Structure formats: structure tokens, C-alpha cells
Amino acid sequence: MPVVRELGIELVPFRTPVPVAVPDGGVFRTFLLAEEATRFDLILNLPKFKTHGMMTLTLGVKNMFGLVVGAAKPGWHLQASRTALFADMLLDLWRSLPPGLSVLDGISAMEGNGPGSGDPLNLGVLMASPSALALDNVAGSIAGLPVNMNPVLYQAGVRGLAGAEREHVEVLGEAVEDVRRPFVLPPSAARVDFTLPAWMSQPMRKSLNSFPRLNPDLCTLCGQCAAICPTRAIELYKKPRTGGVVDRDRCISCFCCQETCPERAIDIVPGRLLRVLKKVNLA
């Protein structure tokens, strides 16, 4: 904020949703995005290099989700609750209002239980590209992430989007190998290409997914997690230091609650079967 004030930069809250069409070839047709962002010739996208419970990493493409006006964000988690579909939604949203330049701040990155409760990582990397997808591609490589654990990149590859093929992205400056630092991933990180038939995965949903758990020692009962939850799955207890409970039948594992919690009081816990599958490298 001191820099923003010093340079006299105007801060414009995103308040007014307007329809923006997705270019041809999208999984989605249109988005309601901030009208305030459509007024400019050039969008400069400034993501942070962080882990993310649902998308494993949150980088340039995911940062554009910020164009969805406030309270509509949880709605998208409901509408596109499957990981692959959410990644497709992010890709279409990015394509509908593409930034002219994305600058990824990985000077101080985040690993572990991101994006809300991760640990700082002194990565010392600053990256820029006119393609947020190409940027994410190289960033995934720096973080040592296989493509099948990077839903945005994986779905971009399935759809043949430019920037998804690592060998087609030219890297200038430092070599990726010289700055590579495998990240500690969120406990929920899993392969996006691992699928079971619906008749098997549906009954085992609770064991195959990861779910949030409130830590009563840290929770102040502020209520922010319950307020943002798109499925109203969180019930807070009334007494301090008791936390609350997550209804796993309702929870869609979007992890908005964890991202919102100001006290880092929400842990993500993988289901039993998911833990086993991860151990044998199947998920």
C-alpha cells in the first residue's frame, strides 16, 4: 500500500458484473466478469507463486478468477465442482479476458497447505510472459510438478491450447533446472487423470476426497468460513475453542473455507482411500 499511495495508483473495487463471451472452443460459453476490468486496453496480471488445495498450484491462469465479482465465486465452485471441470472453467475465464502480460511473483513463494495456510518459500524467482498458460507451464516445472497433478495444465493439454506443450515454450533468462525446487504439496494434491467409474467413485466419495477440518485450538469462531461455504457445509459450535464440524455429505472440497480463514485454523485431510492411493502413486 505505501507504494500504491506513493505512485498515486487508483484502486478500483470490482463491483459490476457484465457478460463476457468465451472465444470459440470453450467448455463454457459466457462469464459474468467485472465491468471495471473491461475498460482497459491492457490487463496486467500479477499472480503469486503458491500451492492450492484444489488446483495444486495457483498461478497466472487461476489468478484471473479474481475477475469474478465477490460473492459469485463460491457459485462457480458449485457449478464446476469437479477438479477437471473447474480447471476448464479457469481456462475459459482466462481466455475470455486474457491479460496482456502476466508477472509471477515467486520471490517469496508458498508451499504446503496453500493458498490459505501454507509456508513461505524463499524461491527468488520472478517470471513474466504474455501467455499466462505458458508461464504456469514453466512454473509447474520449477515446482517439480508432474503435468497430471497440475489440473489447469493437464486440461489445457487435453484441449490443445497454445502454451500447454512444454517443448513449445521458450524460456529466457535462468534455466529451469537451475531454479527448480520441488514444492511440498497440499495434502489434497492428487492426480487429475485418475478416475474410477461413477458407480465405484460415488459410494467411496468420502474416502477418495480430501475435506477441511477445523482446528478448535486456533479457531476464533469468526464465522468467515461458514459464510463463504457455497454448500453451507460448516456448522460452528457456540463455545470458544470448540471449532465446528464439516458435513462431508454437503462439502464439495472447494477449500474456499481454508483460503478465507484468517487464523490458519483449517487443515485439509485426505480421505483414507486417497491416502493409500497416493502412497502407491495411483492418485
Binding residues (CB under 6 A) for ligand SF4: these are 212, 214, 219-225, 229-231, 233-234, 236, 246, 251-257, 260-261, 263, 265-266
DSSP letter, residue 9: P
Instruction: Work out how close the CB of 272 gets to ligand SF4 at its nearest, in angstroms, rounded to a whole number.
Output: 18
Q: Which is nearer to ligand SF4, 26 or 53 (CB)?
A: 53
Instruction: Work out how close the CB of 243 gets to ligand SF4 at its nearest, in angstroms, rounded to a whole number.
Output: 6
Could you give phi then psi for residue 109, rounded to 5 degrees?
-95, -175
Q: Which is nearer to ligand SF4, 15 or 264 (CB)?
A: 264
Do 187 and 113 meet the contact criterion of CB atoms below 8 Å apart?
A: yes
Instruction: Work out how close the CB of 117 gets to ligand SF4 at its nearest, in angstroms, rounded to a whole number.
Output: 10
Cell of 253: 472440497
Instruction: Work out how close the CB of 250 gets to ligand SF4 at its nearest, in angstroms, rounded to a whole number.
Output: 7
Instruction: Work out how close the CB of 104 gets to ligand SF4 at its nearest, in angstroms, rounded to a whole number.
Output: 26
Cell of 24: 470459440
Q: Which is nearer to ligand SF4, 132 or 221 (CB)?
A: 221
Compute the residue count for the chain.
283
Tell whether omega for the bond before 120 is within 30 degrees of 0, i.e. cis. Answer: no
Q: Which is nearer to ligand SF4, 63 or 253 (CB)?
A: 253
User: Could you please report the per-residue DSSP string of 243-262?
Assistant: -EEE-TTT-----HHHHH-T
Do 95 and 23 meet the contact criterion of CB atoms below 8 Å apart?
A: yes
Cell of 282: 495411483
- Tally of CB atoms within 10 A around 15: 10
Q: Would strands 210-214 and 44-45 be described as parallel, antiparallel, or unpaired?
A: unpaired
Closest CA to 58 of 68, 70, 75, 46: 46
CA angle 185, 171, 58 (to 5 degrees): 30
Instruction: Work out how close the CB of 80 gets to ligand SF4 at its nearest, in angstroms, rounded to a whole number.
Output: 13
Q: Which is nearer to ligand SF4, 35 or 263 (CB)?
A: 263
Instruction: Work out how close the CB of 8 gets to ligand SF4 at its nearest, in angstroms, rounded to a whole number.
Output: 35
Could you give phi then psi for residue 79, rounded to 5 degrees?
-70, -35
Q: Would strands 48-52 and 101-111 be described as parallel, antiparallel, or unpaired?
A: parallel
Q: Which is nearer to ligand SF4, 98 or 216 (CB)?
A: 216
Q: Which is nearer to ligand SF4, 108 or 224 (CB)?
A: 224
